Structure formats: C-alpha cells, structure tokens
Amino acid sequence: MERDYSRTDRVESEIQRILATLLQREVKDPRLQGVTITECKVSKDLSICKVYFDVLGANRDDPQVQDALAGFEKARGFLRSSLGKQLLLRITPELRFYYDEVPEKASEIEALIAKALHKR
C-alpha cells in the first residue's frame, strides 16, 4: 500500500511549524516582524530546505522584502540550530530563504481574469 503522505511532506510541514513558532516567539529582529512562512520544500535527501516567506503588505520590489532577506541571513544559524534541537533528524537541513511570489502572481491573474470578463 502506497503512502499518501511521504516522509518529505511530513518533514516540510514540521519545519514550517517550527520556523513559524521561532519567528513568533524567539526571533527579536525587527526586520522579521510581519513575515509569514508560506511554504517549505525539502530535498529528497533532507539536506536542503527552501523556505518561502511573505511580508505582510509588501510586494517583491519593496525594501521590506530585502530587509527580511537580510534578517533571515543574520538569523540563519540560530534558526537552524533551534530547528535541529526540535526536529530530531540525523542531519539538520541547510536553510535557504526565498520571497514567495505566488500570492502576488495570483492577484495579478485574478485581475486579468476580471478585466477579461468585464470586456465581455
């Protein structure tokens, strides 16, 4: 019987939960205020984790996004060590941070659809 929920899926959701909790309770960097972890993608060997985030009320060109990236770079070591203590894996994945453009692109597509429907 094939599993519907693979190990990488479980690890991804657990990493997302732990990082969100750490951002909310432990990280004091003001550049990371209003930042939400939207998705985590782990490589098959669990060595790399791509962490996608969104900044409340910002788009990709706002300086808040670059500030958040700088804040994540500064907090990378703390986040990884805290993650390792809670995750209980043999290897703690290397964290790489990316701005999540999906919500922004979704709103652009919705606007285009609404415009096309309005022309009808």
Which domains are assigned to the chain?
7-119 (3.30.300.20)
Task: Give one DSSP letter per residue of 68-117, joined into a string.
Answer: HHHHHHHHHHHHHHHHHHHH--SSPPEEEEEE--HHHHHHHHHHHHHHHH
Which residues on neighbouring strands pair with residue 95, listed in sequence order?
49
Cα 66 to Cα 69: distance, rounded to the nearest angstrom: 5
Average pLDDT over residues 78-85: 95
* Residue 107 pLDDT exceeds 80: no
State the CB neighbour count (10 A cutoff) for residue 54: 21
| Tens-place pLDDT, residues 21-30 | 999 999 999 9
Cα 116 to Cα 92: distance, rounded to the nearest angstrom: 47
| Tens-place pLDDT, residues 8-52 | 999 999 999 999 999 999 999 999 988 999 999 999 999 999 999
Confidence band for 72, pLDDT divided at 50, 70 and 90: very high
Whether the full predicted model's pTM is greater than 0.85, yes or no, is no
